[in-house]
Structure 1
Amino acid sequence: MTETDTEERKSKSQIKREMQALRDLGKRLVALPESSLDKIPMPERLRAAVLAAKGFKREALRRQIQHIGALMREVDADAICRALEGLSRPHREEVQAFHEVEQWRDALIEGDGGLLEELANRFEAADRQQLRQLARNARKEREQNRPPKSARALFRYLSDLRSAE
């Protein structure tokens, strides 16, 4: 055995970790809706195995995921990973935008006048008076322990501004 042979050979533990990663990727594929699966490039045998796994329960599902992992050894798993990331990126961006609008709403309700001016400057369609009124009404509702009707309206107004950007 030469020095290059030992560098190229993988340890048994490394091989097991790689196979577990393929099974985990297979689980992610099984969890996807069928419409999203169509957007991921994969061989027909693998697609059929993933679709079949959707109907299985417990032990049968575990065995099918083992089978999917074995099939994935023959395909380019990196391409499938990239496609999965591409599918989840728009969702992450939507969640990030949602959280940003929530933070704006909460800050306006707390009385952050600087943010109000910043939003009015950032969004040309923003109506300062309406923003102030919605924030003031939401503050009053919170103080009086009433349902957050104005807070919801403020959130909708801010999301509409953001989406029109």
Structure 2
Amino acid sequence: MIHADYDEQLPDDDSGVPEPPSKSQRKRESHALQDLGEQLVALSLDQLKKVPLPESLADAVRDAKRMTKHEARRRQMQYVGKLMRTVDPEPIQAQLDVFNGVSKAEVVRQHRLERLRVDLLEDESTLQTIVQTWPEADFQQLRTLRRNALKEREQNKPLRAFREIFRVLRDLEAGTTVGASDEKDGADDAAADE
């Protein structure tokens, strides 16, 4: 009989009022935003400029990048996490996915560049297509890289020119200066070659 009385006192679930998130859910969301903040701090300054951030959050992230003392950095990261709660994380995560090569658009772009590289190795006339698409392309450099890549493959040597072709095509598509590469490029290319 006690149970029947208890059931009568429960409020209707059909009230239309959404239940607030549980404490555990709020904690998980807070940790996810903190992790997103950590990823922002790990970015290079050039990459950070490409992420859509409010100025206050961008300043806090740059400050955290400069901090070397553990406790100061920990407090700054808490502040970054607090600021992260006021922004929509979706555009930030989307840009991070692009940097990490996770987004569908980035995967499609990399596959297109890989196909173009393979076409170039199989047929030298692809050079004309590349130069027509990107007039700023260095025809002679691409021709030399193609010849070197074919030699490397033939002699079972490391595929340096093969990776360099991808780098050049990626830079052309991005509209950056060809040949400007950093250490990260090697890691990107290794992932793209798989």
Identify the TM-score tier after normalising by the shorter chain.
0.5 to 0.7
Relative to 1, partners in 2 of residues 1:39 and 1:122: Cα closer, same or farther, differing over 3 Å? same
Deviations 1:54-96 (A, max 9, x none): 1123332222112111111111122222233344448767876
1:119 to 119, 122, 128: 122
- Kindly indicate whether the alpha-carbon contact (under 8 Å) linking 1:101 and 1:158 is maintained by their aligned counterparts in 2: no
- Kindly indicate whether the alpha-carbon contact (under 8 Å) linking 1:30 and 1:53 is maintained by their aligned counterparts in 2: yes
Question: Cα distance, 1:49 vs. partner?
Answer: 0.8
- Kindly indicate whether the alpha-carbon contact (under 8 Å) linking 2:98 and 2:106 is maintained by their aligned counterparts in 1: no
Q: Which runs of 5+ in 1 are unaligned?
A: 105-114, 126-130, 143-147
Counterpart in 2 of 1:64?
Answer: 76
**For the residues of structure 1 that align with 2:160 and 2:115, how far apart are their CA atoms?**
15
Counterpart in 1 of 2:90?
Answer: 78
- Greater fraction helix: 1
Find the residue that maps to 1:8 and give its secondary structure: coil
Find the residue that maps to 2:91 and give its secondary structure: helix
- Kindly indicate whether the alpha-carbon contact (under 8 Å) linking 1:22 and 1:73 is maintained by their aligned counterparts in 2: yes
Within a 5 Å distance, the mapping from 1:6-21 to structure 2 comes to 7-21=18-32
TM-score by length of 2: 0.50
Aligned residues: 141
Deviations 1:142-165 (A, max 9, x none): 5xxxxx38x555x3797599779x
If asked which structure has higher relative contact order (CA below 8 Å, sep 6+), I would say 1
Residue identity over aligned pairs, in percent, reads 33
**For the residues of structure 2 that align with 1:160 and 1:33, how far apart are their CA atoms?**
19
- Kindly indicate whether the alpha-carbon contact (under 8 Å) linking 2:113 and 2:169 is maintained by their aligned counterparts in 1: no
Relative to 1, partners in 2 of residues 1:64 and 1:93: Cα closer, same or farther, differing over 3 Å? farther
Supply the AA of the counterpart residue of 2:74. Answer: R
**For the residues of structure 2 that align with 1:97 and 1:83, how far apart are their CA atoms?**
20
Within a 5 Å distance, the mapping from 1:33-52 to structure 2 comes to 33-52=44-63
Within a 5 Å distance, the mapping from 1:83-94 to structure 2 comes to 83-89=95-101
- Kindly indicate whether the alpha-carbon contact (under 8 Å) linking 1:42 and 1:80 is maintained by their aligned counterparts in 2: yes
Deviations 1:104-132 (A, max 9, x none): 7xxxxxxxxxx9xx93499477xxxxx89
Relative to 1, partners in 2 of residues 1:97 and 1:31: Cα closer, same or farther, differing over 3 Å? farther
Deviations 1:22-67 (A, max 9, x none): 0011011111122222222222221111011011233322221121
73-82 or 12-21: bigger deviation: 73-82
